[in-house]
Structure 1
Amino acid sequence: MNTLTVVALLHYFLFAVLVQSAPVSSPSDPPPAFREAAERAKTLVEKILRDIPAVHAAAVNTEGLTLDPSAQTTNLQMMVTSLGIPTAPVLKPLSEHFTLDVCVSRMSAGSRLYQGLLGVLSKRLSGLSDLRTSLRDLLTHIHKMQEVAQLGGGGVADQSLSPDLASHLHGNYEVQVAVHLTLTQLRSFCHDLIRSLRAIATYRPRAAGRH
């Protein structure tokens, strides 16, 4: 084998290695516009978290219904079921199995859920419309994230089951409990959203072909 052939083969193998190890663009490797939308979403979620205590204080006046986690009782947890209040989709750390697509889809489903619940409760109690508006704007940012990163639906079904809640609001006590539980769950979901949005901002998936 002459020198030219050896050099040619070396160039060929070196090129193959470089191609294999180069980052590959994919829906899991989002563009800068995705991270910008995620940052705007995070800022809005932080605003929602700041607003929840004031909204709760203005809307909920039944004794014993506070945002203090230690004040939550078994009876209140039972009311979640009896009132038909669904829980938001679980948000997990990004991984090979919990993909960016699934994560953002669950963000969207959870935000739609609480927007729907607050919509039902707004018909029975004032002071919830600003939170609904913030959730609507949050959904706009989440949908932008899905659009620019070309994400699909993630296989998440629509979580908006608010009609079940409406049929269980027989009196003022049920309304008060429903508002309290919805705001409590929304606060927990927002904390999960913050963690997920922060993770997205620094997430760098392994490129296809790397081992």
Structure 2
Amino acid sequence: MNSLIVVALLHYFLFAVLVRSAPVSSPSNPPPAFREAAERAKTLVEKILRDIPAVHAATVNTQGLTLDPSTQTANLQVMMQSLRIPAAPVLKPPSERFTLEMSVSRMCAGSRLYQRLLGVLSDRLSGLSDLRADLRDLLTHINKMREAAQLGAGGGVDQDHGLDLTSRSDYDVQVAVHLTLTQLRSFCHDLIRSLRAVATYRPRAAGAL
């Protein structure tokens, strides 16, 4: 075989191998900008968690409504349904079935849900504006994660917050604030775990066991 043909074939196969082995940025293999945005989001969520007790103390003065889980009663769960306060989307570590796109989308949907709930509550009492602003900034960081990894809408669907306090008593408003802050705290704990997971997640190579 002509030596020039052999060299050409070697170059062809070498190029094909390099193309197949080159790292490709994809929704399951996000770029450094994604991890940087995730770290900023995690830092902000940690701030929100630190601020929730002070916000609760400043806005909830009804006896018996504390952040201590042991004080929660079945009656509060009934009130939660009566006030139509929805639960946040469930967050899970990314996997083959629960994609990175789904994870980030649910982070966004949950953060937006609580921002809206706090907006409704702010119409009846003060002291929630800083927390609401932090949630707005958190949404900005999560959207930067989505943009950096070129993610679509995914599996997270925004929920109608449903909360209407127009004809509710002051006690009902107190309960609504308490339940919202309690749920927000739980969501933030899940959010921190998810942000850690997505920042270190690497998809399993095709064909790997």
**Deviation beyond 6 Å, 4+ runs, structure 1:** 8-18
Q: How does 1:111-122 map to 2 (within 5 A)?
A: 111-122=111-122
CA distance in structure 1 between the aligned counterparts of 2:45 and 2:192, rounded to whole angstroms: 7
Q: 1:179 — aligned with what?
A: 177
Could you tell which deviates more after superposition, 45-54 or 166-175?
A: 166-175
Q: 1:83·1:168 contact (CA, 8 Å) conserved in 2? A: no
With the length of structure 2 as denominator, give the TM-score of the two structures.
Answer: 0.89
Q: 2:25·2:149 contact (CA, 8 Å) conserved in 1? A: no
2:196 pairs, out of 188, 192, 198, with 198
Q: 1:92·1:103 contact (CA, 8 Å) conserved in 2? A: yes
Q: 1:121·1:175 contact (CA, 8 Å) conserved in 2? A: yes
Q: 1:188 — aligned with what?
A: 186
CA distance in structure 2 between the aligned counterparts of 1:112 and 1:139, rounded to whole angstroms: 7
Q: 2:105·2:154 contact (CA, 8 Å) conserved in 1? A: yes
CA distance in structure 2 between the aligned counterparts of 1:185 and 1:99, rounded to whole angstroms: 24
Q: 1:115·1:136 contact (CA, 8 Å) conserved in 2? A: yes
Shift of residue 25, structure 1, vs aligned partner: 3.0
Query: Unaligned stretches of 5+ in structure 1?
Result: none
AA of the residue aligned to 1:195 = R
SS in 2 for 1:165: coil
Residue 45 in structure 1 maps to residue 23 in structure 2: no
CA distance in structure 2 between the aligned counterparts of 1:45 and 1:169, rounded to whole angstroms: 33
Count of aligned pairs between the two proteins: 209
SS in 2 for 1:166: coil
AA of the residue aligned to 1:123 = D
Shift of residue 11, structure 1, vs aligned partner: 9.3
Shift of residue 200, structure 1, vs aligned partner: 1.6
CA distance in structure 1 between the aligned counterparts of 2:27 and 2:84, rounded to whole angstroms: 36
Output the aligned Cα RMSD.
2.6
CA distance in structure 2 between the aligned counterparts of 1:26 and 1:140, rounded to whole angstroms: 21
Q: 1:38·1:145 contact (CA, 8 Å) conserved in 2? A: yes
Shift of residue 155, structure 1, vs aligned partner: 3.1
Residue 93 in structure 1 maps to residue 97 in structure 2: no
Shift of residue 13, structure 1, vs aligned partner: 7.9
SS in 1 for 2:163: helix
With the length of structure 1 as denominator, give the TM-score of the two structures.
Answer: 0.88
Aligned-pair identity (%)? 79
Query: Unaligned stretches of 5+ in structure 2?
Result: none
Residue 102 in structure 1 maps to residue 99 in structure 2: no
AA of the residue aligned to 1:94 = P
SS in 2 for 1:51: helix
Q: 1:24·1:208 contact (CA, 8 Å) conserved in 2? A: no
Q: 2:93·2:198 contact (CA, 8 Å) conserved in 1? A: no
